[in-house]
């Protein structure tokens, strides 16, 4: 009886894995397609603006991945040091803080360059989009979720 249940369970798992693989393979790839980018749609960029935006976006993503990799390495070094009694976390935490600052500066520089691509009407739309995005986000870039009223 147990063997029969085990075989049925195994077959069900195989079927589920097959379905998941099929869904993964059949899913259309949208990554990297600037025509699907939120800003290019909202700002109605022309072809030249889209090409320049795509270049800026790729460079920005490279920079952010590089900074993220440095932060992961620093955090790994920090959290692997628990057993070292002579270890002082100050230097590494300052490095992590510096990398956070660098990320914010990179993000600002990217959006400033994107705004420079815009004509006057697009720049006004861009400013509104950025203001809306800032108001929707709380501290540390997390979305503000309104609490339900007390009962």
Strand partners, 143: 137
Whether 81 and 87 have beta carbons less than 8 Å apart is answered as yes
What does the block give as tokens for 6? Answer: 């085990």
Instruction: Look at residues 48, 151, 64 and name the one whose alpha carbon lies nearest to residue 111.
Output: 64
Residue listed under structure tokens 């870039």: 141
The pLDDT of residue 145: 52
The pLDDT of residue 4: 86
The pLDDT of residue 23: 81
The pLDDT of residue 35: 45
Backbone angles phi, psi at 18, to 5 degrees: -60, -45
Exposure b/e, 5-39, CB count within 10 A at least 16 = b: eeeeeeeeeeeeeeeeeeeeeeeeeeeeebeebeb
CA distance 39 to 117: 12
**Tens of pLDDT along the chain (151 residues)?**
788 888 888 888 888 888 888 888 876 555 544 445 788 888 999 999 999 999 999 999 999 999 999 999 999 988 888 888 787 889 889 999 999 999 999 999 999 999 999 999 999 999 999 898 888 865 555 555 555 555 5
- CA angle, 149 as apex, 148 and 151 as ends, to 5°? 115
Contacts made by residues 54-60, CB under 8 angstroms, sequence distance 24+: 56/110, 56/113, 56/114, 56/117, 57/110, 60/106, 60/107, 60/110
The pLDDT of residue 7: 84
The pLDDT of residue 133: 85
Instruction: Look at residues 32, 49, 34 and name the one whose alpha carbon lies nearest to residue 116.
Output: 49
């Amino acid at each position: 009886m147990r063997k029969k249940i085990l075989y049925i369970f195994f077959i069900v798992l195989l079927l589920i894995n097959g379905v998941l693989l099929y869904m993964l393979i059949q899913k259309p790839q949208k990554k990297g397609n600037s025509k699907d980018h939120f800003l290019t749609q909202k700002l109605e960029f022309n072809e030249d603006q889209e090409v320049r935006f795509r270049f800026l976006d790729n460079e920005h993503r490279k920079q952010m991945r590089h900074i993220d990799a440095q932060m992961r390495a620093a955090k790994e070094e920090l959290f692997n040091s628990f057993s070292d009694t002579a270890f002082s976390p100050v230097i590494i935490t300052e490095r992590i803080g510096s990398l956070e600052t660098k990320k914010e500066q990179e993000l600002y520089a990217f959006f400033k360059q994107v705004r420079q691509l815009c004509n006057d009407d697009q720049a006004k739309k861009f400013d509104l989009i950025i203001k809306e995005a800032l108001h929707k986000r709380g501290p540390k870039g997390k979305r503000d979720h309104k609490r339900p009223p007390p009962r």
